[in-house]
Structure 1
């Protein structure tokens, strides 16, 4: 399980980092072409828009795996250790339900609807953009199942436990 998580983290983290580098380069080109060359590129805006969509959803899946998603810890901090494990399991199950219903099922409906549309400038199929929803949903479910497996072994997978382990050199 740990090997699978590390592999997913490596691939997804690398993909997000690579996408960020590409988006920064495209943004620099957009600024240079607009202000220095006085000939704005029409393609850059679409690349940036769709790139940010993909990066946000892939980043959300990565955050799910790291236990770094947004949360309100007020209740969690007041619970005993057993209650925290149960709450963490409930959160992981909620992620599976959300990812399955909203991202995968709803996302596939979006992909189907968008299959007949193309983007205005680059003329790429809009289904490629909407595909980010089910892809991130599958990744979120995979990470949530890994998180549930860790919880079943009594090893919560939270950002704070990761940071503590890194500080201790584990």
Structure 2
């Protein structure tokens, strides 16, 4: 693989992962800019490594008829990112927090994988749609979800939150 293509894919994955991380960082989430850039970069590197392995083990080149299946590394990225995502999910009383950040990390891994495969359009569109979901849909979700019982919090009798604060995410 051309070194400039390889470097370009790694840089693009890092940049696009960073775009998703900036949104989480701005919301002071536990997995922010650096975590997202590293997830995308690592996913891209694993993907490039699996592509290189398949190329090295192609018929006529590989020793003893060895074979590689690039989908195996990709599937392990999907499974492995679940472990990292689980680390940002917290339970506070009756509320569960961090699900959106965990899902965003999962999408970030997909962006890195797509960059590694050279699927630049898919990676860019995925980042755009993810940002749409994270930023534009936030007020829609707030409008659709009633305040009572939001995220496991209890309101007092007159409908105001028990602690006097709006429990909805900002």
TM-score range, shorter chain: 0.3 to 0.5
- Going by fraction, where is helix more abundant, 1 or 2? 1
Which has more radius of gyration? 2
Question: Normalising by the residue count of structure 2, what TM-score does the alignment of the two structures yield?
Answer: 0.33
Question: Normalising by the residue count of structure 1, what TM-score does the alignment of the two structures yield?
Answer: 0.33
